[in-house]
Amino acid sequence: MKTTKQLILILVLSVMLASCGQKKVETDTSHSNDTKGKKHEHAVINSPDDALNELKKGNTRFVDGKSETRDYKEQVQSVKDDQHPHSVILSCLDSRVPPEIVFDQGFGDIFVARVAGNIEDDNILGSMEFATKLKGSKLIVVMGHNKCGAVKGAVDNAELGNLTQLVDQIKPAITGDKSNPDKMLDETSKKNVKLQIESILKHSEVIAALVKEGKVKIVGAYYDLNTGKVEFMN
């Protein structure tokens, strides 16, 4: 039989424990609010259009000089166990076109494959299939740019070691009037992006099926070295 004193003690302890539990809930709530405040760093992406909007918004932040401030050390920890990047970008080797920076994205946000002239091959396709089918990326972007050295190499019939076969792969895109070299380079670079997209869909059954099902979208983009702006081509 419990005495009255013992019963009061039990009651007091119960109230204390309950208030501790309450405090913990409050702490958790404030933590989730903190996470919400940093939404841009890992935006919620549920569709290909969400991913496209995130890249558009990121490029606008970059062009406006309002890129997010990121704690890279913290970001390393936040993605150390897994990754679910919303997009995969195929971009040129050019040092002036770094996708993470021009789209203002952080660790774990985008997959990036880079090769001179942003051309697809079996290894790029395998990487894209990994990104989309296995890791759930919802958007594929093939991004060319103006004043591209690889495209100029194709137009000029450049020959050098393995570079010869690389620029040969861009040659089907050559278009325009040689009397206006800058315009010709621009037109050829843009056509190259379109041909690479066609090629990706033609050579990857996995990606073609995902696109057909509406789970993945594939778009062209064109980066302007003069302004930092990305123009989406669809």
Closer to Zn ion by Cβ: residue 128 or 150? 150
Task: Tell me the closest approach of the beta carbon of residue 149 to Zn ion, in angstroms.
Answer: 6
From 55, 139, 143, 148, residue interacting with Zn ion (rule: CB under 5 A): 148
Stretch that binds Zn ion, among 51-59, 148-156, 180-188, 226-234 (CB under 5 A): 148-156
Site string for Zn ion, 165-204 (x = CB under 5 A): ----------------------------------------
Closer to Zn ion by Cβ: residue 141 or 211? 141
Beta-sheet strand order (sheet of 87-91) = 110-114, 87-91, 139-145, 217-223, 230-232
Closer to Zn ion by Cβ: residue 145 or 217? 145
Residues forming a β-bridge with 143: 91, 221
Residue 92 makes contact with Zn ion by CB under 5 A: yes
Q: Which of 72, 78, 79, 103 is nearest to 89 (CA)?
A: 103
Task: Tell me the closest approach of the beta carbon of residue 166 to Zn ion, in angstroms.
Answer: 11
Positive or negative CA dihedral for 75, 78, 81, 86?
Answer: negative
Helix then strand count (H, E) for the chain reads 9, 5
Tell the residue number behind the tokens 């696109």, with chain if given.
211
Q: Which residues bind Zn ion (CB under 5 A)?
A: 92, 94, 148, 150
